[in-house]
Structure 1
Amino acid sequence: MEEEPVSSTWPLLPLFWQNFTPENTARIADLRKEKADQEGHSDPSKVRIENLPRELRCLQPPQEPEDGEWRVFGNKYTLVDELPKLEDMGIQRLFPNPEERDQDGKHFDRATILKRSAKSLLLNFLELTGLLATNPEAAEEKITDIRDILINFHHLINEYRPHQARESLISMMQAQLDRTRAETNAIRDAKDKAERILEGLGSLKIEDVASEAVPEGKDVWRDDREAWDALVGESTS
């Protein structure tokens, strides 16, 4: 069976990657440092140079957009990543605004609202199936209700993202701290073992050992090697 030819391949890399050479990097670093010294900037990396040679233009990052917004593949992004309001997206809000919460003395319980939204979503779905069976023309309004519930549900979950990021960072830092403490304790245990071994060796009397006659046929070097191997095994265990 013949293999089908590939109709489309990945696009080639932009040719400007060839400009990222050690020589060009060193050249633009020297130009930045020179201009920073002339203008009195403390950080040469933040200095922008006009009229750069063609091979160095791609090594200088573009400026930030003045209005803080830019588009990529039709989607709009902002420098300040904020959760958009439901009203700005034309969606009916089904729970209080952040400015209106906790004003009546009651705590705003997101978990309870999420549970209610889930139950309401199931109920509306059952109603939608009934309408599709009896009166399909009236199902559009019910579909809009389900869409609003889903978007509100997703929006309320997204309000947890900053809290999730903080908790994830705390968990990572705690794991790093525990790992560092375990390594420190292991080093201290190895140090204590080494000190005990050295104390045991220091208690030996060299004069007594040297004065003893070596029995005939006894391999002294073999005994020393066995003692050394035992010492190394004790220190590494």
Structure 2
Amino acid sequence: MDEEKQIASTWPPPPPFWKAFTPENILRIDALRKEAAENSGLQDSSNARLTSLPRELRNLQPPSEPEDGEWRVFGDKYRLKDELPHLEDGEIRRLFPDPDERDQDGKHFDRATILKRLAKSLLLNFLELTGLLATSPEAAEDKITDLRDLFINFHHLINEYRPHQARESLISMMQSQLDRTRAETHAIRDAKDKAERVLEGLSSLTIEDQLNDRALEKGGAHGPDADVWDLLLA
């Protein structure tokens, strides 16, 4: 009983098997894994699972996956396959159609419309609850149950949108990365074009300076305003 309280407490103590993770034990189990990998022909020794281990090394090997797909952490149960539980599993009344059901026209029911109806029902039932608490509080238990079912159905219907929300969030994130990459690419191209124009301008200034220097060396009739062709042909 004390052990269960420690596991389910807010700040549980570390498990007692942490003392087995000594440097010597880690080196020993690594050597055993390499030996098992060589014998079985595995390239990665970390995937080798040891069948027989000394008592002091058993805690260093992770446990195998649970056969029923359930495990417990800090007093809470988790499943390998994370699925949204059905309302019927918790004995909750379903107040909206099943996702597989269709209306008279053969179309799926509009979830947004159902959420609006549930929200209005929540407000109406809350007002009725306040009236019952003022007149006959002993009759308010059924209304509280109705509010509970409405809240759970509302929350369940929102949770059914989680996969869609995850996909849309991923699409939005990838689109943002794509837009940012394109903007950076355009900025690099603009900087490249600007650098090429600057280099072209510098190269033209160098040629003019050389021509002017040659004209000054000639002196006399030509001068700095001499004809370029005459300088080239001189």
Deviation at 1:210, TM superposition (A): 5.1
Distance between the aligned counterparts of 2:93 and 2:175, measured in 1? 41
Q: 1:13 to 1:70 in 2, by over 3 A?
A: closer
Deviation at 1:200, TM superposition (A): 2.1
Any gaps of 5 or more consecutive residues in structure 1?
1-9, 214-237
* 2:76 matched residue in structure 1: 75
Q: 1:38 to 1:103 in 2, by over 3 A?
A: farther
TM-score norm. by structure 1 comes to 0.72
- Pick which of 11-20 and 77-86 moved more: 11-20
* 2:153 matched residue in structure 1: 152
* 2:197 matched residue in structure 1: 196
Distance between the aligned counterparts of 1:202 and 1:18, measured in 2? 73
- The percentage of aligned residue pairs carrying the same residue is 69
Q: 1:134 to 1:80 in 2, by over 3 A?
A: same
- Structure 2 counterpart SS, 1:63: coil
Any gaps of 5 or more consecutive residues in structure 2?
1-10, 217-234
* 1:171 matched residue in structure 2: 172
* 1:226 matched residue in structure 2: none
What is the total number of aligned residue pairs between the two structures? Answer: 203
Deviation at 1:176, TM superposition (A): 1.0
Deviations 1:58-92 (A, max 9, x none): 3x433221111012233211011100000001100
Q: 1:19 to 1:160 in 2, by over 3 A?
A: same
- Pick which of 164-173 and 68-77 moved more: 68-77
- Structure 1 counterpart SS, 2:49: coil
Q: 1:29 to 1:148 in 2, by over 3 A?
A: same
Deviation at 1:135, TM superposition (A): 1.2
Q: 1:110 to 1:17 in 2, by over 3 A?
A: farther
Distance between the aligned counterparts of 2:194 and 2:25, measured in 1? 55
* 2:219 matched residue in structure 1: none
Structure 1 or 2, whichever has the larger Rg, is: 2
Deviations 1:79-120 (A, max 9, x none): 111000000011000111123245751331111001100111
Letter in 1 for 2:82: D
Letter in 2 for 1:63: S
Q: 1:52 to 1:162 in 2, by over 3 A?
A: farther
TM-score norm. by structure 2 comes to 0.73
Distance between the aligned counterparts of 1:85 and 1:92, measured in 2? 10
